[in-house]
Amino acid sequence: MSAAVDDVGQQTPVREPAHEDGPPGIGSYLFSARDLTVSFGPVIALDGFSVDIPRGIVGLLGPNGAGKSTFIKASLGLVTPKKGAIFVGGLDSRTQSLQIRDGVGYMPEHDCLVPSMNAVELVSYFGLISGMMTRDSMQRSHEVLDFVGVGEERYRQIKSYSTGMKQKVKLAQAIVHDPPLLFLDEPTSGMDPQGREEMLELVRMIGSSDKTVLVSSHILQEVELVCDYIVIISNGKLVQEGETKTLVAGEEGVQSLTIRGDEGSLTRFVRMLGEACEIMEAKEEGGKQMTLLIRGCRDGSRIFGLARDSGVQIRRYQPERLDLEEVFLRSFRGGGKDGN
């Protein structure tokens, strides 16, 4: 992939949209897909997919076969849409894919390494084909291998590497030319828990240096930990999108309440509480504890009063917070936060 890099380590600014008043939704968004449809023979991989994605660390989430890799490939102009379009930094992937690729680093899902090369040779080779000078690409290759944590092994043939090391080298080749936009397709694939944590830390570090990183994954917790913005895709369609903190914030006015007590006290409390507010959900947790999801009780002191009167102890009382797994499940049940 070619890249316009003038100097080693010099940061290329994120390309501004080509036309501020150009295609709809460009503005502060880096990606704007409009009715994007990509098919492979009879298989529709992206089906009228429309989304606006801002800069930052963005998670592209979805089950196997959802269309995540196809979205990345369509952004890079590696597959041609049957219908619709995708703009990256204001550039149309159908006609300006080479310009898009100039500012992009791509860590593909599948193996892209040459087994008979060592990591230094391979990463510096990718630097060269990105337009760097020989000396610069060699120096930069060592820098990025240091950064991803490949030590003296860098002089061994890649075929002897563990999966985790190969993933790190794949990341190194994607960042060797210091691109402002990175596509990481399942970067933690096949890695053990420690390797995954290290990879996520690298993604965080890259994202904190003003780059936009699009990370595809089906591991929800990982994405929740590192991404500022999340796009959920299923069957080639957009299911849900938004800032992570907004998606995981519960519905306004809904609170989670965990109480502890004997069976009689718990029953008494739930009955009285049901007269004071709406109980949306009640989960028993091992006989002596319950967690309730309640709505419409703005007066916290009332709840504490009821607890005192019925002899239960309040263990936790806070606004509802979802984890991404719940967001994911709700959006598939059609019960997204916005009801879509």
- Residue 237 Cβ, how far from Mg ion at the closest point, in Å? 16
Give the integer Cα–Cα distance in Å for 296 and 45.
43
* CB 188 to ligand ATP: min, Å: 12
**91 touches, from ligand ATP, Mg ion, none (C-beta below 5 to 8 Å by class):** none
- Assigned token pair, 189: 């694939």
Backbone angles phi, psi at 273, to 5 degrees: -65, -40
Query: What is the token pair recorded at 329?
Result: 């499940």
User: How many CA atoms does the CB half-sphere of 283 hold within 13 Å?
Assistant: 6
C-beta closer to ligand ATP: residue 40 or 155: 40
User: Are 74 and 233 a contacting pair, CB within 8 Å?
Assistant: no
**With contact defined as beta carbons under 8 Å apart, do 200 and 222 qualify?**
yes
Given ligand ATP, Mg ion, none, residue 64, with its beta carbon under 5 to 8 Å by kind, binds: ligand ATP
Between CA 135 and CA 139, with CA 138 as vertex, the angle to 5 degrees is: 85
Cβ–Cβ under 8 Å, residues 130 and 176: yes
Q: Closest approach of Cβ 1 to ligand ATP, in Å?
A: 19
Measuring CA to CA, which residue among 318, 306, 305, 296 is closest to residue 249? 318
Residue 40 in the binding site for ligand ATP (CB under 6 A): yes
Cβ 116 vs Cβ 16: under 8 Å:
no
Q: Which of 59, 67, 81, 195 forms a contact with ligand ATP (CB under 6 A)?
A: 67
Q: Which lies closer to ligand ATP via its Cβ, residue 45 or residue 123?
A: 45
Q: How far is the CB of 258 from Mg ion (least distance, A)?
A: 39
Of residues 39 and 258, the one with the C-beta less far from ligand ATP: 39
CB of 236 to ligand ATP, least distance (A): 7
Closer residue to ligand ATP (CB): 69 or 99: 69
Binding site residues, Mg ion, CB under 5 A:
68-69, 109
Note the residues at the interface with ligand ATP (CB under 6 A).
40, 43, 45, 62, 64-70, 109, 218
